[in-house]
Structure formats: C-alpha cells, structure tokens
Amino acid sequence: MNTSTSIRVSDDRPRAADTFASSFATSYAGVVAFLAVAREGSFSRAGDRLGIDRSAVSRSVRKLEAQLDARLFLRTTRNTSLTREGEIFYENCLPGVERIVRALDDMRELRDGPPRGHLSIQASPGFGRGVIAPLLHRFHARYPDITTELLLSRKPADFAGDRIDVAFHDGRLEDSDIVARQLIPMPWVVCASPSYIAAHGVPRVVGDLDRHQCIAFREASGRLRDWEFKVGGQALRRRISGPDIFNDLDLILQAARQGRGVAQLPGYLVGDAVRAGGLIECLAPYAPDDGGHYLCYLSRRHLPARIRVFADYVTEEIRLLEKERESGRVSGLPRFRDVPSLCWSVDS
C-alpha cells in the first residue's frame, strides 16, 4: 500500500510541474501583451513597444483570455478598451508589475547607482586586524550606505556557501572562477628577538636552523607549515620543529618578540617590530619569491557597486601606505631585504 502511494505521487508530480510550467509560460506572455495593449490602447502600438507583430500580441491576449475564461478587451475598428473584467485584472496585475519594475531598478542601482548594501569580508586574523580593520572607518565615512562585516578566518573563503563578497588571500589562487587582484608584495621573513639572538646567535644559512628553536605554525588543514626559502636560485621547502606550535600568526609574533625562538612570518605582520628593533631579520639572502597578497571576489560580470568601490578603495589605500613607507614618511608595510646588516651586527 505504501509502495502504491509512493508511485502514484511520483507519477503525479511531473504532470503537475509540466502543467504549471505550461500555464506560467502562457500567462506570462499573455500578461505582458495584455498590459502593453491596456497602456497603449492599441494592439499595433503594443506590438511596436514590445518589438513583435500585432498578430503575435493578439494571439497572446487570446490565449490569456481562454485561460482566464474571460474577455479582457472590447475591440472595434477604431477603438480598444478594457472590459470590466479587464479593468479588474489590470488593477490586480499592476502592483505585481510595479514590484518587478522596482526590483529591476534596485538591481541596476546596486550595480550602477550610489553604492549601498551589506558587504561580507573575510581575511586571515593577522591581515584582518593589522591592515583591513584600520581602513574600515574611512571607508564608512566615504560610503555611509554600505555596512561591513569583517570575518577573521584561516580557512579558504567559501564565497557561495558563506556568502562572502570579498576575501584576502596569501599567494596566488588556482581557481579560474575567482578574480584575484594583487595588493602588495608579501615576503615571508625569518626573524628573532635581540635577546634570542644574543643567547643563541644568528642563523647564517638555512641549515643552521637545525640548532635553533623554531616556532611552528599549524595550518587549518592540520599540517605544520613548511618554511620556504630560495637557495642557489631554487625554491626550497624545509620542515622545522621546535618547542612551540601555534595556529595563530599573532601568537607566533608574540612568542618571537618574547625571545622564545625563530619565526617565519609575513612581512605585513612584523614590519613595525623590525622597524622598532623588537625583531631582527635573519636569512635575508635566502628569502623566498614574493607570493603577494591578493584581494579576491567572484567574477567581473555583474559586479555590485558595493564590491567594486571596496576593492578600489582597499587597493588604493594599501598601495598608498606602501609608497609612503618607501619614502620614509610612515612606518607601514616593510621591505625587509633592505636590513640584512642588522642580522650580522648583533653576532659580531
């Protein structure tokens, strides 16, 4: 009995869906034609407005009248007017049409009009706190109709599942569906505190790390992150070990500043500490190729204005910080390859 019921429901559903689809298709074309005739007062002018023949307009209206089992127009050789049923149908259709028009206008405004709406942003904890969060106040002052939500996560951004509009990513992405705009260089820097170097010396070549206490980073996947270098023109990945392991770069930075070991961290995170002398760069001649830091979003097509202006704003502001840092006006995003002498002077 249950099997019979299940089969009967399964057989009925496609027919119901087909009936609905057929009915909707007929109604949609008929309603569009009906509204055009009602507004223009003429089948010919309605056809001109819709870009179709007068006969096509007439056929669509006739099908709609047959579906409704009601006559909608009084037609004479000189005049076309609504019947009482037609007036009622027009009044009932008009609010829905106006809502559709407003919806279309809203979508065009989101794309082309003054930027507004909600913006969901994802960044790694270190980059989000140190770079993006300080920029949001001026962004809100410039675009007061845009609200923002900054989500700090080390996971790769799930744009569709988590409804992320913009994400920041270390290094290039292989996903062709994601637009990646490089913001700034992002060197990975090996560094340690003056107190640690005074006690343990400076690692002068990559192999020296075997005798140092290295602070490890556990990735979201659960693996320990290998340290990257470039030796003799070839990329080198090295597995490191030490007494401290963290899954947060800020904690690694804190441990390095406390003298607990050597760390490899992104340049944007350690710039102030190196410039102030709280950390000293090591192994600068073996720094890996710059992977860059990227601003990412889905597809260039139909890009909402809120995403477009945020991407332009962040790109402009971060690159301005980089230029100001290069000119020496502010302590901003650092270039650590310029300070290798600091590493040798402490140990000599």
DSSP per residue over 206-218, as a string?
Answer: GGGGGGS-BPEEB
Average confidence (pLDDT) over 271-280: 88
Does 284 lie in the same domain as 209?
Answer: yes
- Distance from C-alpha of 33 to C-alpha of 54, rounded to nearest angstrom: 10
The answer to whether position 6 is within a domain reads no
Range of the domain at 314: 117-185+293-326
Check if the beta carbon of residue 295 is closer than 8 Å to that of residue 168. Answer: yes
Check if the beta carbon of residue 226 is closer than 8 Å to that of residue 237. Answer: yes
Average confidence (pLDDT) over 160-185: 79
Does 161 lie in the same domain as 45?
Answer: no
Does 312 lie in the same domain as 171?
Answer: yes
Check if the beta carbon of residue 192 is closer than 8 Å to that of residue 284. Answer: no
- Distance from C-alpha of 251 to C-alpha of 244, rounded to nearest angstrom: 10
The answer to whether position 298 is within a domain reads yes
Q: Which residue has the higher pLDDT, 219 or 147?
A: 147
- Distance from C-alpha of 114 to C-alpha of 190, rounded to nearest angstrom: 45
Does 174 lie in the same domain as 321?
Answer: yes
Position 166 scores a pLDDT of 94
- Distance from C-alpha of 124 to C-alpha of 157, rounded to nearest angstrom: 10
The answer to whether position 237 is within a domain reads yes
pLDDT tens digits, one per residue of 198-217: 999 999 999 999 999 999 99
Does 343 lie in the same domain as 217?
Answer: yes
Does 50 lie in the same domain as 26?
Answer: yes
Flag the least confident range among 41-45, 165-169, 183-187.
183-187
Structural domains in the chain (count): 3
The answer to whether position 8 is within a domain reads no
Report the percent of the chain where pLDDT is more than 90.
35
The whole-chain average pLDDT of the chain stands at: 80
At 74, which CATH number? 1.10.10.10
Position 217 scores a pLDDT of 93
Residue 131 DSSP code: I
| Angle between helix 133-142 and helix 305-326 axes, rounded to 10 deg | 120
Beta strands in the chain (DSSP E): 73-75, 80-82, 117-123, 146-152, 166-170, 178-184, 188-192, 216-217, 227-231, 234-238, 245-246, 263-266, 280-282, 293-298
List the one residue out of 245, 226, 248 whose CA is nearest residue 235.
226
What is the DSSP code string of 168-186? Answer: EEES----TTEEEEEEE--
- Distance from C-alpha of 283 to C-alpha of 268, rounded to nearest angstrom: 18
At 276, which CATH number? 3.40.190.10
- Token reading at 255: 């441990």
Does 174 lie in the same domain as 154?
Answer: yes
Residue 327 DSSP code: T
Confidence grade of residue 115 (pLDDT, cut at 50, 70, 90): confident
